Structure 1
Amino acid sequence: MSAILLAPDKFKGSLDAAAVADALAAGIADVDPGRPVRRCPVADGGEGTVAAALAAGWEPVTTIATGPTGAPLRAVWARAGASALVELASTAGLAVLPGGVRDPGGAGTEGLGTVLAAVLDAGCTDVVVGLGGSATTDGGAGLLRGLGARVLDAGGAEIGRGGAALARADRLDPAGLHPRLRDPAVRVRLAADVDNPLLGPHGAAAVYGPQKGADAAGVAALDAALARWVRVLAAATGTDADALAAARGAGAAGGTGLALTAVCGARVAPGVGTVLELTGFDDELAGAGLVVTGEGRLDAQTLHGKAPAGVAAAARAAGAPVVAVAGQVTLGPAALRAAGFVATYALTDTALDHRDAVDRAAELLRLLGARIATDHPSPTRPMIRSRP
């Protein structure tokens, strides 16, 4: 009997990916209790990436670090042998801002540097950093401080936290950087599908600053501060500032990608593709008769590096049909077919309104799981009609 592979991303603001998979599995069991179901929660490099690795059997490791405003927190990363998966969102994400209050000029990435130092101390050599969900626009300056470097002003004093402080940056002192960053055996990859440059109208501040709380004046100030910072990095690394600023992924996570590539030798890799590789998705996909993926909203952005599109592409390559579930679907039928989805199911089709879809997501997903099992029956088993 062919299995159903459940590979959803989180429904942001409602359920994490594992809970989405559990609800769908319960609905499938209501209709076809003997149907094999596999769960493989996925992510695209943002919040939920470490959870996807843990669901795939990686070991959780906890490191005490600081959040985007400097408050202490416990950050969990995932380990499998010499491989480590770190999530920027766990230390510098919007979700860990105290009280949810956004601080576009003051939020920093020091905590991510602390976690990466712990990863290196643990002897890991294959390090993947998921860059989604950032609350920061500090160009990765905090990250470098967390790894032991110093960012100095013209008078030789260390600058403060956050992107606004980069307006005073004059020199990077890398002498204290973690020594294992120089180890040729250490490989750092950035799981990100953002290919924005660092500066200008398509840069880190202009495109993502507003969602982090920056107004027009704040965006302009952050862009100018990042322009100064890239010149500092270029001087410290003996590279060209314009080339650094224009490099693919330089604008990812408020410029964190810039620091990781310029100083840590990191390489940008497709976010969802990297997560699927690390979680053994191809092994789970083998023999699946149907794949179910999804996220909170299927829209135009889904087609540009989001998890459901990556799952659909992998499943299509393996010859497995794919259906998608979402809180809301705004993509048209032609776009959905082109992406590889043979059917879509939305919570809003049965929910009273958006609030109801969020509040009753697990219940509604269970109903959708039953519908999916009914619409896509196992060829070797008669259906049990689900109760209304």
Structure 2
Amino acid sequence: MSSPPKRTRSSVSNDIREDKRHFAALICARGGSKGIPLKNIKILAGQPLISWALRAAVDANVYDSIWVSTDHPEIARIASEWGAQIHNRNPEAARDTSSAMETILEFTDRHPDIDIISIIQCTSPLIHPWMLQEAVRMIRNEGYDSVFGVTRKHLFRWTEAKNGAETKAENLDPKNRPRRQDWDGELFENGQFYMFTRELLDQGLIQGGKIGYYEMEPQYSVDIDTDLDWPIAEQRVTKFGYFGTEKRKDIKLSVFDIDGVVTDNQVHITDKGEEFRSYNCSDLEGTELLKKAGIEVRFVSEAKNTAGIKVITEKTGCQVETNVKDKLEVLTKWVDEMGLKWSQVTFMGNDVSDVPAMRKSGLGAAPADGQTEARYAARFTATNRGGCGAVRQFCDHILRLIGKTK
């Protein structure tokens, strides 16, 4: 069953790299999805769908190269930011009728130096680095020619009854139905990944030779095909997904821009001509949860110290820097004063002026209505707008990263 191996990532990596064959990871992500338009980069739990597979592949640290095969420039841009090399797919291999084998062969024909291929399914976001590490080790060290992911299911199968014919049980005796705990169940391909040698591919196969499987527990087996699958996948990812947690346990400082992040980026005008903005109470409650978890919370604003900002300062008790022209400069000062590494800092912004600070911090975030440049720079994008719960979503995400949620 799939549970994290006891060996460290580095020891696994050193072990399997004794095999000098070029092992490449390939994620196929065309732009023409019919069921969910641009599904591969749609935001799932705060990140583009494709990022879940890419993060696992990068952090597994077992591949000689990591590729995304795509025909869409936006998918290519996002994949590059998450650490992949881009294979620009030919139009003939990006049609609705193109088979997976055609897509793989189109890639390998242009990359003859690759000896082993690991196909990672973009629409299966619950892949973890240790799953890939163990499967790669089976090929590198144990002589398997092909390995794929499976999940155990306890389902009783019956023959299809056509034209009034009688159905028959295929994998059970109806007179002696086993209890679940007395039956091992059966293994089913879950489509998470397929690994195979080029020799097999040259025969038109992705499974053959010495065949092995890697079994993972059912909670990790999710494939997004339709809109109905999306909320299920998001719920599973939130609980069981890989967030790069081993890199994030030491977050010490979270900074939020007030304008358009804590507030709703709108200016309301009363009959008397007075201006005011609004904020969401759950957002400030989220920052309180961060503080209780031992994280310093601070705010920045390009505006002067208005009455609204003073209210936020009083309610949170956090340090607020106003009239800020260069947010990266302010964050740099705080990082130096606190003796932190940039990897220990998160920053949530919503506009072009926030991008340098977002990119410099260990984890940049943006609300759903952030400017395009800010959302492009973000590693977490909320589904809520600024001033409407985006901060709380990011706070909850941080708490998951540091293991402070139930």
TM-score (norm 1): 0.27
TM-score (norm 2): 0.26
Higher helix share: 1
Q: Which has the larger radius of gyration?
A: 2
Pick 1 or 2: higher relative contact order, CA cutoff 8 A, min separation 6. Answer: 1
